[in-house]
Amino acid sequence: MKTFLRTALERSISVVAFIFPFIELSYYFGAKVFLSTESILLKIFYLNNIQKLTNFYQNNVYLIFILMIGIFIGCSRGSLPLSKYARFNIIQAILLNIICSCIGSIYTFLPVILRESIIGITIANFLYLGVILLIVYSSILIYFGRYPKIPVISEAAKLQVQRGYSD
């Protein structure tokens, strides 16, 4: 029973770590994706739920960044009392967050004419929904105890976890 609870807790922590890329993605693309639709329900859902998270992120961006870096260092060095599986998934979520941050920054530097056109809205929808599907895919595999394979990110996370054992 004790190992079951430990396994369930580690899997839950691994899934919760994907809140970092979700908030980052919602910060850059959430308003464009949800408020450009004609569905009133999606707009209300965004304004009541997701925008509160993004406002918290916007007001505490440095605190969240320090927390994320601390978790990353703790997982990569192996100083947190977690299994290799949980550390791998947490590092993978943080690396996905870094990629989302880079993509969001690049998107904001696009010319306004391109961002506000149908092409810009399509790009935002594609990126938002693609990363959300990637988070859902990873969460489902974590729930079943398997390693999610994200092409570049998984290899980098594996290298970080292995590096932690050699320190």
**Residue-by-residue DSSP string for 114-165:** HHTSHHHHHHHHHHHHHHHHHHHHHHHHHHTT-----HHHHHHHHHHHHHHH
**CB-based contact 152:75 (threshold 8 Å):** no
Per-residue pLDDT of 59-103, as tens digits, reads: 999 999 999 999 999 888 888 888 889 999 999 999 999 999 999
What's residue 167's pLDDT? 47
Residues of the chain with pLDDT under 70: 164-167
What is residue 73's three-state secondary structure?
Answer: helix
CA 46 distance to own-chain centroid: 18
pTM of the model: 0.91
Cα→Cα distances 157→5, 35, 134, 144, Å: 25, 34, 16, 19
C-alpha span between 139 and 93 (Å, rounded): 10
**Burial readout 28-57 (b: 16 or more C-beta within 10 A, e: otherwise):** bbbbbbbeeeeeeeeeeebeeebbeebeeb
- The confidence score (pLDDT) of residue 165 equals 57
Give residue 163's pLDDT.
72
What is the structure's pLDDT at 43? Answer: 92
